[in-house]
Amino acid sequence: MKIAICCLIVSALPLHAAVEVSKVFTPHMVLQRGMAVPIYGTAAADEKVAVKFRAQTKTATADKEGRWLVKLDPLEAGGPDVLMIGDKKIDDVLVGDVWIGSGQSNMDMPVSAYVGNDPVLAAAAKESYPKIRLMKKGAKNVWQEATPETIPGFSALLFSFGFPLQKEVDVPVGLMVGAVGGTPSGFWLSEEMFRSDPACAAVVKKFATSKEYEVLVAKHKESMAKWEQEQADWKVLADAAKQEGKTPPPAPRPLKPLAQPGEAGNGKIGQLFEAHIRPYVGYGIKGVLWDQGESRTNITGVDQGTLMGALIGGWRKAWGQGDFPFLYVQKPSGGGCAFDYTQPMNRLAEKFAPLPANVPGAPAADYSHEVFARIMKYPNTHMVISSDLGSGIHPPNKSGYGARALQVALATAYGKKNEYLGPMYASHAIDGAAVTLTFTHTGKGLAFVNGDALQGFMIAGEDKKFVWADAAIKGDKVVVSSAKVPHPAAVRYAWSGTFPWANLFNQDGLPAQPFRTDNW
């Protein structure tokens, strides 16, 4: 038996370990400009590998596990050129900027699903782009030229970001996608990234002793008792049916066990990171565009904002490129009115509406614009405002979302001077019956559009009863008050799931974001 096993092992091994390059290095690829470019693969242990590109020749020696890595000196944009690894030749290599797109369905769904409702995207998809290269999930990690044949199957959002980006920066652009519809953020970072994150550990520990978790446990016990009774009732009916020669009724579906704090509700933490992002790790990139949130985290007791910190930090550590730009699309999608409905990106925004008679209820605690705005606290992490781009689980205006992502990228990753956020609440001061609000990202100045007056602000006293406030722009500030609240304690703006009646913008056309001055 031992001889047979040994023979089996030997027969499974290659007769020699040829020099191989990672599968992400294929013809038509784009290498990242302006950095020490990693080229890596496998070979026999201690084998020397030579890498040649343009005027550079670099060598490396494979380690004991057969892994080798060289780093080319920073490259200027251009091409095409030939990359040689040993005697392997890779043709049509460009140098420019590489962006990874990841998340769930709004990143995963292809151009072909949107061209019928997006004329800008439809027109763009008919063109060929010699300086844009695509690597999509399911393409066996093969780079493709962006043509009318390859574009329809590629991510609608990442392409909508990439084609205007290439035109703007005028260098080759590589777009790599790793996304799966209906997936939580807990699948998109490795187990180690999650377990080693102090903030995640802290919220898990806190949740484990919280009343919220006690309620979950109690509800699960009730559900289990109900299921056990249904199971017992079914067994009686099934036994009776068998005795009568009849088909037994279907059994009750098994009840899923309650996920413990810090554990996945279903599936495995990190499963999609390992399948779709790990193959890209180490490849030189410019940044990431992320679109996910509808499916939350799927990790009991861990909120989206905290987990995204672990994901962003974990990806950056894995890549070893420092704090590269991480752009993410704001959730929930849409909800607000637009500054200028004639602009293609804003054509599907909510139509402006008068103030409701009553102040609306608060948005969902775990899925609100406020929750997603907090993700910006992480270094070099920037939100792509979506409140004026159109609503829906799958907003049809993908070219608008891509154009807004471009605005953010130009300002944060390329050093342009354009504004990329709407007015963001910074501080407030109470003076008698009035509250003065100060904002960042006022751009060319504060403004309101749609309607005859600035609106969307709510004000309350210590009784926590909010009423609509009168509001006026004073320079780069907004002053709010109400005759019904002589002693104000808090102000809120656009504090609802949708808010087409909130009309504060900067003169750059970007909407102010929902906020509150209280923590009630």
500, 352 contact by CB (below 8 A): yes
**Residue 45 is assigned to a structural domain of this protein:** no
pLDDT tens across 160-203, in order? 999 999 999 999 999 999 999 999 999 999 999 999 999 999 99
Using DSSP, state whether 55 is helix, strand or coil.
coil
Give the contacts of 364 (CB within 8 A, at least 6 positions apart): 497
Strands 434-440 and 477-481, how do they pair? antiparallel
What pLDDT score was predicted for residue 144? 97
348 lies in a domain? no
Assign 119 a pLDDT band (cuts: 50, 70, 90): very high
In sign, the C-alpha dihedral spanning 154, 156, 157, 163 is positive
Task: Count Cβ neighbours within 10 Å for each residue of 447-473 and write b for 16 or more, e otherwise.
Answer: bbbbeeebbbbbbbbeeeebebbebee
pLDDT reading at 2 higher than 50? no
Q: Among residues 221, 243, 265, which one ends one of the domains?
A: 243
Residue 17 has pLDDT above 80, yes or no: no
288: β partners: 100, 326
Range 192-198, long-range pairs (CB < 8 A, 24+ positions):
192/314, 193/270, 193/273, 193/310, 193/311, 193/313, 193/314, 193/315, 193/317, 193/318, 194/269, 194/270, 194/299, 194/307, 194/310, 194/314, 197/309, 197/310, 197/313, 197/314
Residue type, 14: P
pLDDT of residue 451: 95
pLDDT tens digits for range 309-335:
999 999 999 999 999 999 999 999 999
In a domain, 468, yes or no: yes
Residue ending a domain, among 243, 262, 292, is 243
Domain that holds residue 228: 208-243
Task: Tell me how many domains the chain contains.
Answer: 2
Cβ–Cβ under 8 Å, residues 66 and 42 = yes
Flag whether 495 is in a domain: yes
Residue 10 has pLDDT above 80, yes or no: no
Please check whether residue 213 lies inside any domain of the structure: yes
Whether 461 is covered by a domain: the verdict is yes
pLDDT tens, position by position, 122-135: 999 999 999 999 99
pLDDT of residue 139: 63
pLDDT band per the 50, 70, 90 thresholds, residue 137: confident
Q: How confident is the model at residue 141 (pLDDT cuts 50, 70, 90)?
A: confident
The two most distant CA atoms of the chain are separated, in Å, by: 92
Pairwise pLDDT comparison (3 vs 239), residue with the higher score: 239
Q: How confident is the model at residue 140 (pLDDT cuts 50, 70, 90)?
A: confident
Closest residue by Cα to residue 191 from 133, 273, 88, 113: 273
CB atoms within 10 A of CB 232: 10
**Which of 193, 218, 243 finishes a domain?**
243
Check: CB of residue 329 under 8 Å from CB of residue 389.
no
Q: Answer whether 513's CB lies under 8 Å from 479's CB.
A: no
Q: In this structure, what token pair is assigned to residue 48?
A: 């020397």
Mean per-residue pLDDT, 427-454: 98
Residue 463 forms part of a structural domain: yes
* pLDDT the model gives residue 5: 39
Q: How far apart are CA 448 and CA 454, in angstroms?
A: 6
pLDDT, tens digit, for every residue of 234-257? 999 999 999 999 999 999 999 999
- Determine, yes or no, domain membership for 489: yes
Mean pLDDT of 394-408: 98
**Angle at which helices 198-208 and 304-319 cross, to 10°:** 150
Distance (Å, whole) CA 478 – CA 474? 6
